[in-house]
Chain A
Amino acid sequence: MSRPRYKLVVDPIACDGAGVCAELLPEMISLDPWGFPIIHGAEVPPGLVDLARRATVSCPRLALTLVRIES
């Protein structure tokens, strides 16, 4: 049984550009000129999974989701 792998998915309809995610996870998320998140990297590095989870629950619109990558 290998360790589960995750990716971050933004629901762009729910997202209103609050920017909390980029503050909490600057390693993976930057903001575009209008304040909307850009996710960097197709997979969350294992060491960042806990921080990524914290970013998802801190989003005021719950627009950020940690999704398990099916292998």
Chain B
Amino acid sequence: MSAPVGPTRLLDTTGGPDVVGLDAHLQRWGPLPSAGSKALLDAVGRSGLRGHGGAWFPVGTKWRAVAGSGRSRPVVVANGAEGEPASGKDRYLLHHSPHLVLDGATTAARAVGADHVVVHLTAEAAAGVRAALDERARRGIDGCSFEIVVAPDRFLAGQESAAVATVNGKSPGIPTFVGIRTVREHGVAGRPTLVQNVETLAHAALIARFGPDWFRSVGTAESPGTALLTVTGRWDAPRIVEVPLGTTLGQALGIDAGTARGIQGVLLGGYGGGWLPTATALAMPFAEETARAHGTSVGAGVVVLLPTGVCPLAEVARVVRYMEGEGAGQCGPCVNGLDVLATSLEHLAYRPRSLRGGVAALPTLCGLVEGRGACHHPDGVARFVRTAVDVFADHAGLHLSRGPCQTTRPFLAVPTTPVARAR
């Protein structure tokens, strides 16, 4: 089987079937080569693959840590919980190419010495993955056992320690404190646990076949390969797009950065990511290192182009109130701080003159929640707010001088069903 040459690796955009079954999968990619743990750890390490769940942590480093972490056999969690409302790439990938993800999961299991894989996913993805696992079981192609665990429908469900809590059957979707002992050392059933995003695993399945040099033939030195993006605001409905990392968003989406019209700002990385001015976002090489240099993150590949006619401050307030409600309700600074942040943003959006301390109060509030939760939920919200304050500074000035927008419409995806909270 020869390695694909185009930028499209995970997605089949050649007009093939919507769901790639096992036969078509093996025809396109060939069987997984039977490499051992050492060779796989080496290949993934040298490939430079980073985690596509949002943290962009070097995958080789993580696999080595789990492989060498304990006396008991490790467990692999293939994480497709995708609680972020503006992201759809993981459930699409599980639907479209489940065998690539499952190949990646068995690759990870072999590399870290696990004999059990938990596929942790959304309710809607379960049936497709179940069918794919049945196909594989009939052929007997996997050397490990599989289990499907459906994640609760909440923002934090995919967070690493929350995923482990769900699999362990206690407080589903609620993060735990890992400041002393990480899930890599003590996770599912108390075993060393590798929690890896499903897209990351799909890339690993291709690295196992075609090697690190092939993997690095697209992308940047620090972020090699391609990435799946969920793009909102470019077309009538959100779309999943695969792009070589390092391509500009303008190129990837076919928008000229110099003449872009009708976009007020661009959100990268979702509701725990950050806003950029439109021209900056479109011209910037799309990769985590560049996003971080601009004060944001590409996160799990969420891209939202915010159109004109929508009040950005009303949208930011709505999202932060949602994020406040989606907190686990466990950590004092997050419980208190996100509520005050949401209230302050609601003032700025609808009653700007009653915002105590003015816009300058917002970054100060962000500083009070950053780094103070058991998970990074408050840190993400703080980044979302800080960057919004910068990018929409002129708009905030208009609210303060002339009053709030007279008309707006909801644009950003915010689930309206109230979610049961732990508190």
Contact = CB atoms under 8 A, between A and B. Distances in A.
A32 B368 CA distance: 7
A12 B372 contact: yes
A61 to B, nearest CB: 11
Contact of B372 (A14, A35, A36): A36
Interface of A: 9-17, 32-36, 38, 65, 67
Interface in B296-337: 330-334, 336-337
A14 B368 contact: no
Nearest to B333: A36
Given A11-B374, A12-B372, A12-B373, A35 B177 contact: no
B254 interface: no
A33 B337 CA distance: 9
Contacts of A15: 331-332
A36 B336 CA distance: 10
Contacts of B180: 9, 11, 65, 67
B374 A34 contact: no
B177 A14 contact: yes
A65 to B, nearest CB: 6
Interface in B361-403: 368, 372-374
B368 A12 contact: no
Contacts of B337: 32, 34
Nearest to A9: B179
Given A33-B368, A36-B372, A65-B180, A13 B330 contact: yes
B176 interface: yes
Contacts of B372: 10, 12, 32, 36, 38
Given A33-B336, A38-B372, 16 more contacts: A9-B179, A10-B179, A11-B177, A11-B374, A12-B177, A12-B334, A13-B331, A13-B374, A15-B331, A32-B333, A32-B336, A33-B368, A34-B332, A35-B332, A36-B333, A65-B180
> Closest 10 interchain pairs by CB?
A12-B331, A36-B332, A34-B336, A13-B330, A11-B177, A13-B177, A13-B374, A9-B179, A12-B374, A17-B332
B399 to A, nearest CB: 25
Contacts of A17: 332
A42 B332 CA distance: 21
A29 to B, nearest CB: 13
A43 to B, nearest CB: 16
A32 B332 CA distance: 10
A65 B180 CA distance: 9
Contacts of B333: 12, 32, 34, 36
B362 to A, nearest CB: 15
A36 B369 CA distance: 11
Contacts of B332: 12, 15-17, 34-36
A38 B332 CA distance: 11
A54 to B, nearest CB: 20
21 contacts: A9-B180, A10-B372, A11-B177, A11-B180, A12-B330, A12-B331, A12-B334, A12-B373, A13-B177, A14-B177, A15-B331, A32-B337, A33-B368, A34-B336, A34-B337, A35-B332, A36-B333, A36-B336, A65-B179, A65-B180, A67-B180
Nearest to B336: A34
Contacts of A10: 179, 372
A38 B336 CA distance: 14
A35 to B, nearest CB: 7
Contacts of A13: 176-177, 330-331, 374
A68 B95 CA distance: 46
